[in-house]
Amino acid sequence: MTSNERIKLFRNSLNLSQQKFADSLNISRGYLNDIERGRQEPSFNFIKCLNEVYNVNLNWLLKGHGEMYEEIQTPKKTQAIIEMIESLNDSQKQKIYAVIEDEKRFNEMEKRVNQLNQLIGTMKTA
């Protein structure tokens, strides 16, 4: 099995369409399609991004050795945040949770506004 085939296998294991997978890696669906079909070799930046975003085991991806995922190690900053949150009382934790939920909703609204702006832009040029 080639690394190109393993990339497709990995994407399918996540139950992601090519478009959603490409979006998550900030690449075009066409580029991903070319990689998966073996028409193009994945770039170093693509492989690096795949590892950073999904924690895929590079030894498995490139050579087919080992497990699909690397052992997850929590980054120091993330661990420090977890420890800070664990030291809070329930009321404080609830406030942080609410802020995070608000941020998620804001990001989703911002994404929709950008999509609408793109649609309006295409309508103006038509």
Q: Tell whether 98 is covered by a domain.
A: yes
The letter for the amino acid at 96 is: I
Residues constituting the chain: 126
C-alpha–C-alpha distance, residues 100 and 105, integer Å: 9
| Tokens 């809070």 belong to residue | 88
**Residue 40 lies in domain:** 3-63
What are the pLDDT tens digits along the chain (126 aa)?
899 999 999 999 999 999 999 999 999 999 999 999 999 999 999 999 998 888 899 999 999 998 888 766 667 788 888 889 999 999 999 999 999 999 999 989 998 998 888 888 888 776
From the centroid of its chain, how far is CA 12?
14
DSSP state of 37: T
User: How many separate domains does the chain show?
Assistant: 2
Q: Tell whether 69 is covered by a domain.
A: no
Same domain, 11 and 52: yes
Looking up residue 43, the CATH number of its domain turns out to be 1.10.260.40
Q: Is the pTM of this model over 0.85?
A: no
How many CA atoms, within 13 angstroms, populate the side-chain half-sphere of residue 16?
A: 17
